[in-house]
Structure 1
Amino acid sequence: MTTATDNTSLGSLREEQTLLRSRLARLRRRLQLQMALEFALDAAAVLVATAAVLVFLDWWFRLGLPARLLLLAATLLGVIPLACVRALRAWRAARLDDLSLAVTLDRFRPGTGGRVADVLQLPDQLGESAESVSPAMIRLAVRQATEALAASDWAALWNRGRTVKRSAALIAALLVPTLFAVLAPQAARLSVARWLQGSSERWPQRTYLTVVGLGDRNRLLAPRDEPFALEVRSDLASAEPRKGSWVVRGRGEPLTLRSLPKAPEVPKAVRVRERTAKGAVRDAIMVATSPAVFRYELPPSSTSTTFDLTGGDDWLGPVKVDRVDRPSLAATKLRVKEPGSPGNDFRLVDASAQHPVFLPDTEVELTLVGSEPIADARLTVHPGQPPKLTQVDARTFAAHWTLREAITLEVQLTSQATGLTSKPAFFSIGLLKDREPRVALRALGVGAHVTPVATIPLSLNATDDLGLSLVRLQLERTTSAGDKAEPRTTKKTVPLPLATDGGRAVLDHQARHDVELQADSPPLGTILRFVAEAEDKCARGVQVGRSAALQFQVVPSDELFYEILIRQRAERAKFVTLYEAAEKRATSLSRSPTPDDYATAMRGLNAGSRQLDLIAGRIADTLQEMKLNQVGSPKSHRLLQEGVIDPIRALNAGAVNELRGVLQSLTGTAPKAGANAESASRLHGEVVTGMKTILDQMSQWESFVDVVNQVAEVIKMQQNVLQAAEKARESRTQEVFDEKP
């Protein structure tokens, strides 16, 4: 074996080492590029896949901002550590030293690692002593290793297909978001805004729900303890354009949309879920009142609640419903100044007056006081123009007007804090038409005919709206002077006293006045006409009210007596009818009567009892008329009172009443001790006997009247004879003195 060590120097070995190190460095850089390419591919693939999954989940589940933040944080916590570990491993693999890289090459081409080690390590041993190493052998080994390495093509070991595939995969991974941005720019922009910018802009929907009255607030105000009508629309009626986008209000916070759906989809149903303060949950389906309007009535509640809405692909909530008190009318003050009022000053009307009424042209001042600060007060008149309201302070409004007609005001207050309106309060003011006094005049106890010596009792009743000032009687007499002469009429005014109580207005006055004709007896045939008059205290002028006229005719006493007797005989005929009916009932009660017979008898008895009361009353009226007209003597009056009127009333109150109780017991309606057929028959006999006695008294009264009338007629005839004899005597005496000598 031949060695050539002479021509090989240490410097050439160092050059071989440098060339080998340079070659290994190029291989290391290529390896680092490959590792970087693969790391970039892995990172891009993970990012694209993660982004695709997140975008899909967000689009499918319509995640809110908190959910997106949590999901993004969880994804980053899982992806970033894994990427860091892989990057660290790749970095460490790309940082191999020359010997480690040679060992790696030895895996794919055996022997390469040893040769690299010979070239890199053996020249360093030449500096040692000759006894420990052989320089020739070292140079030979290095030269052989260098020649072998020079003949080895490391580029052939490189997997170019892997590099091409990884590069293509990286380009494809980068093209995915690019194509997404090109093909669906709005979706790409919205994904970036929602995931990277934290935007609350929603994915495009077919349905958008809005709550009427919510606006941009996060709560609805509802009256406490009252039902609340919740109205939801799905037609985007509250959408407003703004700088190339649309703002949808009525969702608690403005919802910004890049574009509106061409035809908003109306959901088949809108569900509402209400949660109370105590945690109770109520689910309901809203009622569709029109194609895009849904309504639901929240039940009355004293505490605030929240609700959520879902319909179609939209959801909304939670929205708070604050229960607050409505404003109310705390006080109402009414001051008026009526025409002709004392001192021409306003007076305060009592608040307890339910329906106040005032005269026309009354100045009215109405003050309304709210229970809380009021933003606006509204008066409504149906129909007509309401008076103008002016604000006095935060809670008080006032109105001033002149009353021309009756008015009903509808008052509504609007709260300054909540904007709620009060329940309508109605306030009515009537128009008092000061009518003339109403006067009624009646005659008590006399009829249309009176005697020249009669006393006529008059009863007067006068009323007025504001007060009476004067009451009087107008008496008018019309006397006929003869067949050819004109009737003569005289008038007389009789003032009546009007009592006042402490200066208070007299609204109602009743008086009694007796007109006595005996003091100035009118001739027979005189017509008496009485009218009552009353004057009031009207501010616009005195008004006079008059009653209907009472008219009487003066007739002779015997003529009036005859009229009264005719009426008494009519009552006697009615009494005879009752007596005959009682005799017939006596026959049925004397046999073996049945309960039906007792019932029939009791019905007849009740009807007869009522007739007895009426007969006694009418006869008593004729007696009073006789007394007032001074017809008949006191004895005749006493006979009629004690013989007819009093017995009828005593019979009706005594035996008839007792018989009624017995008959009721026998019919079974009111049991009574001692009630039997015998007692009924006995009592009925007493009734019949009493009626027979009264009938005899009536006959006696008529006989007495006939005797009196006959005596009066005889006396009248005697007076006529005496008057005729006196006239004849005077005539003869006159003839004697008138004869000529």
Structure 2
Amino acid sequence: MPNNYLDPQLATLLGSLRERVRRYVIWDSVLAILAVLLIAFWLGLAMDYVPVMLGGTEMPLLARTLLLLVVAGLVIAIVAKMLLGRLNRPLPDDSLALLVERHHPELGGRLVTAVQLNEPGRSGDSHSPELLKRVHKEAASAVDQVDPNRVFRWEPLVRKGMVVAPLALLLLGFAIFNPSAFERATGRLTLLSNDPWPRRADIEMVGVELPVVTASEEETLEPTLLEFTDKTMRLPRGSNATLRIRAEAEESEVPMLCTVYYRTESGTRGQSNMRRVGRVVDGFQSFVLEGPPLAGLSESFTFSILGLDDRLDDYQVEAVVPPAITEMNVNVRYPDYLRVDGAGDVDLSSQYKSGLRINEGSNVTLVASSSVPLGDADVMLKNDRGEQRATNLQYSDDRRELRLNLDDFDAATTVRIVPRDEGGISAQAAYRYFMGVVLDEPPELELRSKGIGTAVTSIARLPMTAVVTDDYGIKELRLSVAPSATTDAEKDATDNGATKTADRILNFDRDGKAKEVLDLRDLVADGELDEIVPGGAINVFAQASDRYDLATPHVTRSEVFRLQVVTPEQLLALLERRELGMRSRLEQTIDETRSLRDTLDQLRRRGFESEEVPADEREKTRQEQVRRLRVQQSGLQASKTSEELTGIAASLDDLLQEMVNNRVDSVDRRERIGTGVRDPLKKIVAEPLARLINQIAEIEDLVGSPADAASKTADAVQTSEEVLLQLTAVLEKMLDLESYNEILDIVRGLIDDQDELIDETKEERKKRVLDMFKP
């Protein structure tokens, strides 16, 4: 504070110095604050904009906030410490005088002495007043020589000014020449704005094209475009998506190349270049990425896209496990035609297995279990009628089960299912289930006749045997006999139901076999058939039906046996002709047996040893093989003879049965054919011929032993003679029968001539009676 006791010049000097010190403190603090603010501005601008120039991004809001807080802290510290702290410090006169004395040693302490000795309240000092006046006077006279500027250190202000001045000039020029950039920088650094810096390029995210996985094999849908939500997108694992961006092409520069920088969840880093697509359309150039990391997506990743100086940052793709069908159960309810005698439900419930086949007409329910709750599912059904989308889908309360009903299953069907979760994520491939169909086949029916030929009498018995089989059982087996229509009138009568048909429902065993004898005489007598007259024909056939009731009933008709109706005499004549054919077969068999006997006799006579000694072992082996071959041929001939005789005996047996079934048999005829021919033939086959076959087999085994083979051949020749004798006896019996039949033919001819003569006589008599009435 100014000293009223000091010389005015000295007081003025000290007051001026005090003011200068305060101004110095103020300027020093202001320059420090400006330096901090300018350095922070340019440093923040560099940190915010330089990365943009290099293809990076601006400082995030958090970094700018931290920078602003640091600057504010520094400014507050400067104000508190450098400005207020120093301004609040006292500046006494003696301190100021001492400061002046330090920089002006020529004062010789006069200023300090004058200031201190003139302080009020000071006591105890020993000095002369005259001396004090003199000191005052000398100090006041030296005031003019004092330079207050020498008291201050100007280097700190100069250094601060050298920092502040160029930075301030740059700031001023920045504000003048690019006010919009200055305003954007100021706003961003002061957190008043978050607008990004303008770029040369302007790229923007379009989204991700994801192929639509459909259950249809014929339908191809366009990929769907998915957009990012808060820079995040969920995609199914295993998908092959396409990333799309676009660059503004009218007011901005189009990048030649856009690059995707990515980092996977496991830490793998990589980059991929995006491909330009086509030309500029509607002012935008499109870019796509079809390769990694979106190709065959396996894990989540984050990515950024750089195009010139523009950048799209912090985008994230989350790889989501797509929904999967963990289990497929098949519930089958069989149709009614597969249910026997009102039995309970014959249902099938099992897990789906490859090769599953389901009976035609069944009601099928597919129950698919999902790994996650389902939003919906795309289900396609494909069979021989084409492809159609299933609409009758049912979901459980927790949306983890999907039910599909296939009523009246009648064709092999492929079911393709694409499940989607509640977020729209779908499986990347359709789940395929194939179910074959077991079609109900018509019954298989075979009708046979025994003891009946192609011609029958009007009173014949028709023994029939039917064998019927079906997949799931027979409902009805019917045997029918009806007159055969030969003229158009008869066909019309048959179609109109005017002709009677006799039917019999047959009972069959577990193997599907049934037997029935149709007696024509009884059928006519009972009125089931119209009278059967010789010269016509009848048809015998069987029909079988199963329990199939879904569409046209399955009815199978057997082979139709068309039987010609003849008189007993005509039938016997036919049978006699067959006997003649059998006699011819027997004569041929006897000739073959005689040739067999001659071959064996030749082997016996020549022996099994060669007259000439073979030249070597090879020739001996060849001769032995020739003999063995001849013996084998003899054995084959014997077997053929046995089979032929067995066939003749069977034919004779059929002939006898036909006689019985047609009611034209007699005891004499049965004895002549059965006892005289058939039975002897069976006996020949069973005894001497069988023995001959065995003997020939033994000869073949003894070819290597000539003596034993010759002995056994002699026995075989004797047996063949025995066979020939017995066959000749049978042949003579058949010749006797032929003579007997010839006599019968003569008798039949006489009877026919007699009947014809009687008819002619009746006609002549009738004519004569009519002539008597003529005028």
Question: How does the TM-score come out when normalised to structure 1?
Answer: 0.63
Counterpart of 2:218 in structure 1 is none
Change over 3 Å in CA distance of 1:86–1:713 after alignment to 2: same
Rounded to whole Å, the distance in 2 between the matches of 1:728 and 1:499 is 51
| Unaligned stretches of 5+ residues in structure 2 | 211-225, 278-287, 487-497, 524-531, 565-570, 658-672, 766-775
Equivalences for residues 692-711 of structure 1 within 5 A: 699-700=724-725, 703-711=728-736
What SS does structure 1 have at the residue aligned with 2:290? strand
Say which of 643, 649, 660 aligns to 2:684: 643
Residues 153-162 or 96-105, more deviating: 153-162
Q: Deviations over 1:190-226 (max 9, x none)?
A: 897599699898997888886667944868575xxxx
Counterpart of 1:229 in structure 2 is: 239
Pairwise CA distance, 1:710: 2.3
User: Could you say if the C-alpha distance between residues 379 and 655 of structure 1 is closer, same or farther in structure 2, counting changes exceeding 3 Å?
Assistant: farther
Give the total of aligned pairs.
Answer: 658
Letter in 2 for 1:533: Q
For residues 366 and 588 of structure 1, the distance between their equivalents in structure 2, rounded to whole angstroms, comes to 81
User: Which of residues 344, 349, 352 is equivalent to 1:351?
Assistant: 349
Q: How does 1:419-430 map to 2 (within 5 A)?
A: 419-421=425-427, 424-426=431-433, 428=435
CA contact (8 A) 1:269 1:286 kept: yes
d(CA) in 1 for partners of 2:723 and 2:182? 121
- Deviation of 1:149 after TM superposition, in Å, equals 1.4
Deviation at 1:628, TM superposition (A): 1.9
Distance 2:540 2:39 in 1: 122
SS at match of 1:229: coil
Aligned residue number for residue 22 of structure 1: 15
1:40 aligns with 2:33: yes
CA contact (8 A) 2:395 2:403 kept: yes
CA distance in 1, matches of 2:197, 2:42: 22
Aligned equivalents of 1:493, 1:445: Cα separation in 2 = 21
Q: Is the 8 A contact 1:387 1:400 kept in 2?
A: no
Matched, 1:440 2:433: no
Q: Aligned-pair distance for 1:263?
A: 4.3
Q: Distance in 1 between matches of 2:437 and 2:120?
A: 133
CA deviation profile, 1:333-367 (whole Å, cap 9, x unmatched): 455776999999996743369433445xx9x5847
Q: Indicate how the Cα distance of structure 1 residues 58 and 708 shifts in structure 2: closer, same or farther if over 3 A, else same.
A: same
Contact 1:453 1:629 in 2 (8 A): no
After superposing the two structures, state which structure 1 stretch, 228-237 or 307-316, moved more. Answer: 307-316
Q: How does 1:81-480 map to 2 (within 5 A)?
A: 88=81, 98-102=93-97, 104-105=99-100, 109-111=104-106, 114=109, 116-124=111-119, 132-154=126-148, 166-167=160-161, 169-174=163-168, 176=170, 183=178, 189=184, 215-216=228-229, 220=234, 228-235=238-245, 263=254, 273=264, 275=266, 292-295=288-291, 306-307=300-301, 321-323=319-321, 326-328=324-326, 331-334=329-332, 349-351=347-349, 354-358=356-360, 366=365, 368=367, 370-371=369-370, 373-382=373-382, 383-384=387-388, 386-390=390-394, 393-395=397-399, 403=408, 406=411, 408=413, 409-416=415-422, 419-421=425-427, 424-426=431-433, 428=435, 437-443=443-449, 458-463=464-469, 468-475=474-481
**Contact 1:441–1:532, Cα closer than 8 Å, also in 2:** yes
Residues 282 and 493 (structure 1), Cα distance of their counterparts in 2 relative to 1, 3 Å cut: farther
User: What is the CA–CA distance in structure 2 between the aligned matches of 1:725 and 1:108, rounded to whole Å?
Assistant: 188
- Contact 1:236 1:264 survives alignment (8 Å): no
- The question of whether the paired residues in 1 share the 8 Å contact of 2:373 and 2:398 is answered with yes
Say whether the 8 Å CA contact 1:190–1:201 is kept in structure 2. Answer: no
Structure 1: which 5+ runs fail to align?
1-9, 238-245, 247-258, 276-280, 481-488, 502-507, 663-675
Cα pair 2:483 2:499 within 8 Å, conserved = yes
Q: Which moved more, 1:374-383 or 1:102-111?
A: 102-111
Q: 2:651 aligns to what? A: 625
- Spell out, residue by residue over 1:369-406, the C-alpha distance to the aligned partner (whole angstroms, 9 max, x if none): 64564433444234246453355744566667875974
Give the AA of the match of 1:144.
E
Distance 1:101 1:177 in 2: 39
* TM-score w.r.t. length of structure 2: 0.61
Larger CA deviation: 561-570 vs 334-343: 334-343
User: What residue is the counterpart of 1:714 in the other structure?
Assistant: 739
Alpha-carbon distance, 1:28 to partner: 1.0
- Aligned residue type for 1:24: L
SS in 2 for 1:124: coil
Contact 2:263 2:303 (C-alpha < 8 Å) held by counterparts: yes
By how many angstroms is 1:21 displaced? 2.6
Distance in 1 (CA, whole Å) between partners of 2:292 and 2:695 is: 75
Aligned-pair Cα RMSD in Å: 6.7
How far apart, in 2, do the equivalents of 1:269 and 1:602 lie?
92
1:159-179 C-alpha deviation (Å, 9 max, x unpaired): 999968854742432455676
Instruction: Give the distance between the partners of 2:109 and 2:272, measured in 1 at CA.
Output: 85
Q: Which letter maps to 1:376?
A: D
